[in-house]
A and B are shown apart, each in its own frame.
Chain A
Amino acid sequence: MTEAAARRVLVAGLGNPDRGDDGIGPLVIKKLAGLLPADVAVAPANADVLTLMLEWADFDAVICVDAAAPLTTAGRIHRFNLATDDLPRDRPPASSHAVSLADAIKLSRVLRQAPRDIIVFAVEGASFAAGSAMGPDVAGAAADVVGRVVAEVIRLRQNFNDLAADT
Chain B
Amino acid sequence: MATRTIRVDYLARVEGEGALDLHISDGHLVKAALSIFEPPRFFEALLRGRNYTETPDIVARICGICPIAYQMSAVHAIEDAFGVTVGGQLRALRRLIYCGEWIESHALHVVMLHAPDFLGYPDAIAMAGDHSDAVRNGLALKKTGNELLRLLGGREIHPVNVRPGGFYRVPQRSELAQITENLKAARDQAIGLVRWVATFPFPDFERDYEFVALRHTDEYPFNEGRIVSNRDIDIDIADYESEFEERHVAHSTALHSLLKRRGAYLVGPLARYALNFDRLPATVRALAAEAGLAAICKNPFRSIIVRALEIVFACEEALRLIADYEPPKEASVPIEPRAAFGFGCTEAPRGICWHRYGFAADGTIQTARIVPPTSQNQPSIEADLEAVAAPMVSKADDVIRSRCEQSIRNYDPCISCSTHFLKLTVHRT
Contact = CB atoms under 8 A, between A and B. Distances in A.
A45 to B, nearest CB: 10
A110 B132 contact: yes
B157 interface: yes
A48 B146 contact: yes
A110 B113 CA distance: 17
A96 B146 CA distance: 17
A96 B15 contact: yes
Given A95-B64, A96-B14, A106 B125 contact: yes
Contacts of B108: 50, 97
Contacts of B157: 46, 48
Contacts of A53: 139
Interface in B122-147: 124-125, 128-129, 132, 135-136, 139-140, 142-143, 146
Contacts of B135: 107, 111
A82 interface: no
Contact of A111 (B132, B414, B416): B132
Contacts of B124: 107
B320 interface: no
Interface residues of A, number: 20
Given A92-B12, A96-B13, A111-B136, A51 B146 contact: yes
B10 interface: yes
Q: Which among A54, A103, A107 has the highest number of chain B CB atoms within 10 Å?
A: A107
A129 interface: no
Contacts of B310: none
A162 B414 CA distance: 44
A46 B414 CA distance: 22
A51 B64 contact: no
A41 interface: no
Contacts of A112: 132
A47 to B, nearest CB: 8
Interface in B3-35: 10, 12-15
- Contact-residue size bin, chain B (C-beta under 8 Å from the other chain): 20 to 34
Contacts of A93: 12
A98 interface: yes
B65 interface: yes
Contacts, number: 55
B128 A51 contact: no
Interface string A77-108: 00000000000000011011111000100110
B10 A46 contact: no
B209 interface: no
A97 B65 contact: yes
Interface in A17-64: 46, 48, 50-51, 53-54
A108 B75 CA distance: 39
A156 B14 CA distance: 38
Nearest to A113: B136
A51 B15 contact: no
A92 B13 CA distance: 10
B82 interface: no
Given A54-B140, A107-B125, A48 B156 contact: yes
Contacts of B132: 110-112
A46 B12 contact: no
Contacts of B10: 92
Contacts of A51: 142-143, 146, 156
A19 B251 CA distance: 30
A98 to B, nearest CB: 7
Interface in B407-423: 414, 416, 421
A46 B150 CA distance: 11
Nearest to A107: B125
B155 interface: yes
A46 B10 CA distance: 28
Interface in B376-429: 414, 416, 421
B24 to A, nearest CB: 27
Contacts of B414: 97
- Lowest 3 CB-CB distances: which A-B pairs, in order? A97-B65, A110-B128, A96-B15
Interface of A: 46, 48, 50-51, 53-54, 92-93, 95-99, 103, 106-107, 110-113
Interface of B: 10, 12-15, 64-65, 108, 112-113, 124-125, 128-129, 132, 135-136, 139-140, 142-143, 146, 155-157, 414, 416, 421
